[in-house]
Amino acid sequence: MGKGDVKTKKGKISKGSFGVSRPHKKKAVVVEKPKAKKKK
């Protein structure tokens, strides 16, 4: 349970991998609303 243990968060940080104990940060998805079309 240290830097060599890949199943822990500290081990995943040192190795640079991701998994259950160190998930990727999800980016906030920005959804742009479609502009209202003008009726002629």
pLDDT reported for residue 11 = 87
Q: CA 7 from chain center: how many Å?
A: 18
Q: Which two tokens stand for residue 24?
A: 């990727």
The radius of gyration of the chain from alpha carbons, rounded to an integer in Å, stands at: 21
Q: Is 40 exposed, middle or buried (0-12, 13-18, 19+ CB in 10 A)?
A: exposed
Q: Which two tokens stand for residue 11?
A: 């081990």
pLDDT reported for residue 19 = 85
pLDDT tens digits, residue range 9-27?
A: 888 888 888 888 888 887 7
